[in-house]
Amino acid sequence: MKLAMPSIPLFILLLLLAGCGGKKETHSAKSAPAAAPVPVQVITAATAEAPAVYETTGTVRAKTTGVVSAKVMGYVREVKVSTGDQVQAGQLLIEIDARDLESQVRQAEAASQEARNAEQEVNNAVASAKANLELAQVTFNRMEDLFQKKSISNQEYDEASARLKVARAGYEMAVSKQQQLRAKIRQAEEAVKAARIMLGYARITAPFAGTVVEKRVEPGNLAAPGVPLLVIEQSGGYRFEAAVEESKKTQIRVGSPVTVHLEAIQKTVPARVSEVVPAGDPQSRTFTVKIDLPSLPMLHSGMFGRAVFPLGARRQVLAVPADAVIEQGQVTSVIVAEGGAARHRLVTVGSRQGGKVEILSGLTPGEKVVYPRPANLADGAPLEVRP
């Protein structure tokens, strides 16, 4: 009994302390103020009649893309442009070391000069042969007249005739050499032109005005014929290439109206189909539809977009204002007023028309959607719906 008595007051003390702590906690919880309701406005989700449309994604491409490559082999001496540079038609882009081509030009020019130098000599030979022929012809005519008069012998007449034939053969030979030399001169001149053209290939110029979108060469690289060095997109001409399901291909033709949404530059442009590629992709089972785009600032190839094709028929759709939809990466949601609190509802969206977004799933007609949507409205926050 003496040993157990001191432990009783300690036990009672612990119970008293626990009771005091519980009272303080209850008092603290009761004193926390409730969150103030957020005043919002709502709209009732309802179906409405809308034209049937088909929506698909695509990419902006340049109408004309030029792959710049060399026509001669040689080491690149200088690259005068970089990716993103604007270039004009005929502007110098790349210089290739052309010392061997310059040597070929000099050789061709020397051969051409040599042929021209021989031209005077051949012309003189032709003139001399012509004079001999004329003399032989006059002599023969005279001898023939004397022969008819029986004033000369047959031997003398035959000798005059032979000299005329030799003179004529000499003249024809001289004329033939003259023609051969002239052909050689023309050939040498063409060789000079060809050598100069090859030398010109060492200076690679822009085929048209545009933008350098890809650079694959640096000074010191060996350029070979046909190997791409630069890629240039022509200025002012872009189109949208959309992938269309094969089941919709028969409903989309050249000239069909279409609306293109370019989200990167926040533009929506009306356009028309300019080309339907007849061959489809066997992997994705889609066909490429090309749509010409108007000239727009900040537009460039590679931009993502959506094409909306009207199909003619009308249908019932559930749609909400586009500003009521929250898009965070691949996740799309709306805020619904439910039981006096905000509830974030995941939805699947469809086509967009007239500032509204079609809701395919996640929302039912009659539900109250918060619109306009307050910034940073948390899930579960109390709401005060105002008219």
Which residue range(s) make up the domain with 217?
65-97+202-234
Give the end of a domain, one of 151, 175, 200.
200
Upper half-sphere CA count for residue 297 (Cβ side, 13 Å): 0
Tens of pLDDT, residue by residue over 12-39, are 444 444 444 444 444 444 544 667 888 8
The verdict on 339 and 242 lying in the same domain is: yes
The verdict on 341 and 193 lying in the same domain is: no
Q: Which two tokens stand for residue 250?
A: 């028969």
The verdict on 84 and 221 lying in the same domain is: yes
Chain centroid to CA 105: how far? 37
The verdict on 108 and 85 lying in the same domain is: no
Q: Output the pLDDT for position 54.
A: 84
Tens of pLDDT, residue by residue over 299-347, are 888 899 999 898 876 778 888 888 889 888 788 999 998 888 888 899 9
**Domain total of the chain:** 3
What phi and psi, each to the nearest 5 degrees, are found at residue 357? Answer: -120, 130
Amino acid identity, position 350: G
- How far apart (Å, rounded) are the C-alpha atoms in residues 373 and 377? 8
Residue in the structure block whose two tokens are 């949507």:
373
CATH code of 292's domain? 2.40.30.170
| Residues of the chain scoring pLDDT < 70 | 1-34, 313, 354
Judged by DSSP in three states, 61 sits in strand
Q: Output the pLDDT for position 305.
A: 92
Tell me which H or E stretch contains 290.
Answer: strand 286-292
- How far apart (Å, rounded) are the C-alpha atoms in residues 128 and 134? 10
Q: Which two tokens stand for residue 350?
A: 């469809």
CATH code of 162's domain? 1.10.287.470
Domain assignment present for 157: yes
Domain assignment present for 218: yes
Residue in the structure block whose two tokens are 């001169």:
185
